[in-house]
Amino acid sequence: MSQRQIQIGVDEFTAKYNLYDIRDFLRKGALLSQGPDRFWLVEGLNQDEIMALSVEALEKRRWLYGRQDIFHTMTLLSYYLGGTVIAQAEFTMGLNTAYEDFISLPEWLSISKYTSFFVIIGYWLSGLLNRNSGRRGAIMTSAIFNIVGSVAGAGESWQWSLVSQLISGIAMGTLVCSLPIYGAEISTARSRGRAVSWMQLITQMTMILMTGLIFLVGLAVGSTTTTTSDPTSNMILMKRVCSATSFIASCLLFACMGASAESPHWLVLRGEMHRAYMSLCRLRKTELQAGRDLYMIYIQTIPEQRNHGKTGFTTRFHQVVTLPKIRRAFLSCIVISVYISIATMQMTPYQDVQRIIQSSLFPPILMLLGIIFFIILQFSLKLFAAHAIEAYGRRGLLMRAMPHIIWPLMLLEVGRALLSPQGYYIVKTLFQGSTVILFMSFATYVPLTYASEAFPLSHREIGMAMTVSTVQASSFLAELMSSSSWKSVFLRPSVMGSLLVLIFFLTYLLMRETSQYPLEEMHTVFEASTRNLASYRLFVELPYKFKRYILRKDVTLEPFEESKYNVGMITLGDTGTSSPP
């Protein structure tokens, strides 16, 4: 578009929503959005604006997600508190399930049977809450749910445990869907992946701290009790400690979220441009950046509102699998979700750990040091993964992590034939332990990050709900198959490794890179058809890599944009065939 066409569009936008007081920022921001990496060519920028844009261009290189990414402290604090509340809701549900062993319950009332169902209710409820009350409203509602669930969790009867499990499950499901969307929409394109990754990192850190707190409570009770304590009383005490911490964190989340900035995307969707601009001013360093982002969000929202603005829930649910661009985004999310579910089932070497402990091959102090080393190593790798998801991209991170998750499973088949049963269990535990570290540190960050940004604004909530529900459903089916008569066959490392190789190949062919693209331009990533994308990677990119890295030939890769398969602009991950806009 020419500069005159851009100025005419900005003037129409300004007149329509009475934004004359910020027209200069909107004009410069619209010009800036045409070439964000060439901001020095835009006339009229002052020194502070140039400095802010220069810092923004370096966001990809940072490790931490903090004040340099979101310039509103309360919003950043609320976002981190949301990750903490997710962990505490999950921990409360786990204690309710463990408490089931200490009370007499009918089989059909088993709390553990309904946990996944309660969480899935929260997934789908989040779409309704986000649509009607905004991102802040959905998060604050889930905080209220978790407050009620933590109060109910302090009760001793199975009725209170069931109520706590229901409400905490709904709160957890709502937060799991709402927080990644909120984090993606308040962040810039270069820090979006780091935002969602840090939320998940805070959740996992809270789980570790809660486990340590419960362990200390158990030690304190054991040291102060002179007689043999009742296990049921100890479990009730642990439940109440967990409920108290969850109650405090949920109250803080509710209070802080009330003072945080609302998602500008949701405000633009409702036509509240002044509120959206004020929200962006709280989230960005300069008014120029706020005006630029406001106009970019508005430009993308126009066609979405024209096509899907008045559609209902059922229609949008149907459009996820019928509209081409949305279906391509959902297909990529499904491939990642199935991979995560199958890999998770193989990443549980607890029975082998128990056999090693019972065999007394290692002293207890050595086992404790091993667990501490495992936690420290996993936390260090998670910090690196939060940086790598921006440095390598979503697809690039999976492509680098998947092979190192697959090859230990293949070597286990060789170990089964060469080692004794006891030695095989030791080797299997070590191999699976290393695989767990890689899997939990890298692969688990991708699904939520990808689902929070791949779908357009009109279908973002329902797309996220469908993705996480698919993860939950595929995990349930995989667990069901592993507990059936096919367990000995299905859980063999060779079978699991073959399935993961197949999914790795599908990920290579079908997944599209979304990092570094603004949410407003994400539709360009999914313009090319799935058939053309897979054909290009299979018949052009794969032969090039074979000749370049195996045969060591000096060949050049034909860019996707210049190939016969191109039907639109798309990023192909780490191949370097196109650059982000």
Structural domains in the chain?
3-60+264-307 (no CATH), 63-261 (1.20.1250.20), 314-524 (1.20.1250.20), 528-562 (no CATH)
Amino acid at 7: Q
* DSSP code at position 61: G
Contact criterion met (CB below 8 Å) for 183 and 50: no
Contact criterion met (CB below 8 Å) for 356 and 362: yes
Instruction: State the residue for tokens 């459903």.
Output: 473
Instruction: Single out the residue of 297, 66, 366 nearest to residue 199, CA to CA.
Output: 66
* DSSP code at position 121: H
Give the integer Cα–Cα distance in Å for 26 and 9.
Answer: 10
Q: Token pair for residue 471?
A: 């993860």
Give the integer Cα–Cα distance in Å for 574 and 408.
Answer: 25
Contact criterion met (CB below 8 Å) for 469 and 124: yes
Sign of CA dihedral 445, 450, 453, 456: negative
Q: Token pair for residue 73?
A: 């402290």
Classify residue 487 by burial, with Cβ atoms within 10 Å: 0-12, 13-18, 19+. exposed
Give the pTM.
0.87
Instruction: Single out the residue of 389, 417, 382, 565 nearest to residue 492, CA to CA.
Output: 417
Contact criterion met (CB below 8 Å) for 126 and 138: yes
Q: For residue 360, how many other CB atoms are within 10 A of its CB?
A: 8
Give the integer Cα–Cα distance in Å for 353 and 331.
Answer: 36
Give the integer Cα–Cα distance in Å for 246 and 209.
Answer: 13
Contact criterion met (CB below 8 Å) for 274 and 19: yes
What is the pLDDT, as a whole number, of residue 377? 76
Tally the C-alpha atoms within 13 A of residue 165's C-alpha that lie toward its C-beta.
24
What is the pLDDT, as a whole number, of residue 349? 46
For the chain, counts of helices (H) and of strands (E): 23, 0
What is the pLDDT, as a whole number, of residue 204? 83
Tally the C-alpha atoms within 13 A of residue 203's C-alpha that lie toward its C-beta.
24
Q: Tell me the CA distances in angstroms from 558 to 537, 553, 578, one per residue in order.
A: 11, 15, 11
Contact criterion met (CB below 8 Å) for 537 and 572: yes
Give the integer Cα–Cα distance in Å for 430 and 451.
Answer: 32
Contact criterion met (CB below 8 Å) for 519 and 495: no
Contact criterion met (CB below 8 Å) for 179 and 82: yes
Per-residue pLDDT 10s for the chain (581 aa) are 677 888 888 889 899 999 999 998 898 888 887 776 677 777 778 888 888 777 777 665 555 565 555 667 788 889 999 999 999 888 888 887 777 766 666 665 566 667 778 889 999 999 899 988 999 999 999 999 999 999 988 877 778 888 888 899 999 999 999 999 999 999 888 888 888 888 888 888 888 888 878 777 777 776 665 545 566 777 778 888 888 999 999 999 999 998 899 999 999 988 899 999 999 998 888 888 889 899 999 988 877 777 666 678 888 888 888 888 899 999 999 988 888 777 776 655 444 454 555 555 566 667 667 667 777 777 777 888 888 888 888 998 888 888 877 777 777 767 666 766 666 666 766 766 667 667 667 777 888 899 999 998 888 999 999 999 888 887 777 666 666 566 666 666 677 778 888 888 999 999 999 987 888 888 888 888 889 999 999 999 999 999 998 988 888 888 888 888 876 544 444 443 333 33
What is the pLDDT, as a whole number, of residue 445? 82
Q: For residue 488, how many other CB atoms are within 10 A of its CB?
A: 8
Which DSSP string corresponds to 443-503?
GGGHHHHHHHHHS-GGGHHHHHHHHHHHHHHHHHHHHHHHTSTTHHHHT-HHHHHHHHHHH
Strand, coil or helix: what is 299?
Answer: helix
Residues with Cβ < 8 Å from 204, sequence gap 6 or more?
87, 382, 440
Instruction: Single out the residue of 307, 457, 428, 446 nearest to residue 390, CA to CA.
Output: 446
Amino acid at 118: F
Classify residue 411 by burial, with Cβ atoms within 10 Å: 0-12, 13-18, 19+. middle
Give the integer Cα–Cα distance in Å for 34 and 418.
Answer: 62
Contact criterion met (CB below 8 Å) for 138 and 129: yes
What is the pLDDT, as a whole number, of residue 218? 73
Backbone angles phi, psi at 401, to 5 degrees: -85, -35
Instruction: Single out the residue of 515, 58, 29, 37 nearest to residue 293, CA to CA.
Output: 29
Contact criterion met (CB below 8 Å) for 431 and 345: no
Give the integer Cα–Cα distance in Å for 258 and 136.
Answer: 7
Q: Tell me the CA distances in angstroms from 55 to 59, 61, 138, one per residue in order.
A: 7, 10, 32
Instruction: Single out the residue of 466, 436, 460 nearest to residue 120, CA to CA.
Output: 466
What is the pLDDT, as a whole number, of residue 573? 45
